[in-house]
Structure 1
Amino acid sequence: MEPYRTVLAVLAVLPAAAVDVTPECIGCICVATSGCNLSPGLNASGALGPFGITLPYFEDARIGDEPDFSDETHESCAGDPFCAALTIRKYMERNARDCDGDDRLTCADFARIHRYGAPDCSLTADTSGYWRRFQDCVQIYTSA
């Protein structure tokens, strides 16, 4: 879980967002996506970095609208934990919804949106192990 702690340290300095995606939640999304491997390259679906950020995800987050990130590309941002975490927060601000029908926005909703996209976030069947890894992480870090 050492990479997770590194990501948490980076996230601690992010400004608060309109949608409360906690550092612990983003850390668990990282763990579920790649084991928080800080050096994964491009995968078969075009996803990059420890969070597996695709180009459409990056573009939808509009990270380039942020003054300190206007020069970031998909490739540079997805590989930078700080920029990638901000990308997730910005994406969630634009796409947050209650995926599990409990009338609350929770980390579980954000994890589903991150994995499946907002339109399909009610899905939980996952043969890759993402959902199990996410749930295991959230059990350890209950503030997620």
Structure 2
Amino acid sequence: MQTHIRQVIQNTFDASNEGSIHFGQVVGQLLAVHVESYHVDYRAGRSTYYLPDGTTLDLPFPVADETMADAFDAAAVRAAIQGAQQGQVMYPEFKRLSQRAGCIGYTVWLTGRHVSYHGRRGETHVERFPD
């Protein structure tokens, strides 16, 4: 992976986890370096970024202190998403809200323009990017 691409991904990851950029900025910055998708695994504490040539980059983050809810509450996940889309909820709070809603992780399909959120028993909520 080129150093420039790695640095853009790392800087985007850091800024998002600090709550200093919103999801739209994350999408724009990652698409600019041709990231196709990325997967966030709350249980393992890592985000994996995928490039078209098969290259990946794993970045660790601290696992939450509080336990993720056992039951997947799609309505609560949608509410967290809506807050993020409106700029009222930044990523650190989004992580807490989605974990409380039973989300164990998600995959952002940048080129497919949607996100798949996952529960412990394979439940899935798919959220399309707004136009």
Under a length normalisation based on structure 2, what TM-score does the superposition of the two structures give? 0.29
Higher strand share: 2
TM-score, normalised relative to structure 1? 0.27
Instruction: State the structure with bigger RCO (CA 8 A, min sep 6), 1 or 2.
Output: 1
